[in-house]
């Protein structure tokens, strides 16, 4: 159990376009999901907390209008990078909290975004 998927696993887009990344909890329901960003050889930086049925909570310094988060159901959260620029290129990882497992976070496999 506790599988989290992300789609797509890899995306290349042109500067100025928008990209949507999906995060799904496959075998459990998650009222809370998190979105992280990871730079090469660096740790994970929390971007925002995604709450089912309500607005996401963004960390300081993260532009909410640029990184749109929608948590429309108990198994799906989406992150849309709007008007992407090369500096948005990164590895984006989501996680979902499984309340049935002491609120443990389970992570998706990540999405590699490259903006040309």
Partner 1 sequence: GEDVEQSLFLSVREGDSSVINCTYTDSSSTYLYWYKQEPGAGLQLLTYIFSNMDMKQDQRLTVLLNKKDKHLSLRIADTQTGDSAIYFCAEGGGGNKLTFGTGTQLKVEL
Which residues of this chain interact with partner 1, rule CB under 8 A?
Answer: 4, 6, 32, 34, 41-44, 46, 49, 93, 95, 97, 102-110, 112
Query: Least distance (Å) from partner 1 to the CB of residue 43?
Result: 5
Distance between CA 29 and CA 13 in Å, rounded? 31
Query: Least distance (Å) from partner 1 to the CB of residue 116?
Result: 20
- Our CB check for partner 1 shows the closer of 19 and 93 to be 93
Query: Least distance (Å) from partner 1 to the CB of residue 40?
Result: 11
- Our CB check for partner 1 shows the closer of 16 and 109 to be 109
Residue 66 to residues 41, 86, 103: CA-CA distances in angstroms?
A: 24, 14, 29
The residues with which 80 forms a beta bridge, in sequence order, are 20, 68
CB 85 within 8 A of CB 15: yes
- Our CB check for partner 1 shows the closer of 38 and 82 to be 38
Beta strand segments in the chain, E: 4-7, 10-13, 19-25, 32-38, 44-51, 57-58, 67-73, 76-81, 90-98, 104-107, 111-115
- Our CB check for partner 1 shows the closer of 17 and 64 to be 64
Query: Least distance (Å) from partner 1 to the CB of residue 5?
Result: 10
């Amino acid at each position: 159990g506790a599988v989290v998927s992300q789609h797509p696993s890899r995306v290349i887009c042109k500067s100025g376009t928008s990209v949507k990344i999906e995060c799904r909890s496959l075998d459990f329901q998650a009222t809370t999901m998190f979105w992280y960003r990871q730079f090469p050889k660096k740790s994970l930086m929390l971007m925002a907390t995604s709450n089912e049925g309500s607005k996401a909570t963004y960390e300081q310094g993260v532009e909410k209008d640029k990184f749109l988060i929608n948590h429309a159901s108990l198994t799906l959260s989406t992150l849309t990078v709007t008007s992407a620029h090369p500096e948005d290129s990164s590895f984006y990882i989501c996680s979902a909290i499984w309340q049935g497992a002491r609120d443990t976070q389970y992570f998706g496999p990540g999405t590699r975004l490259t903006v040309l």
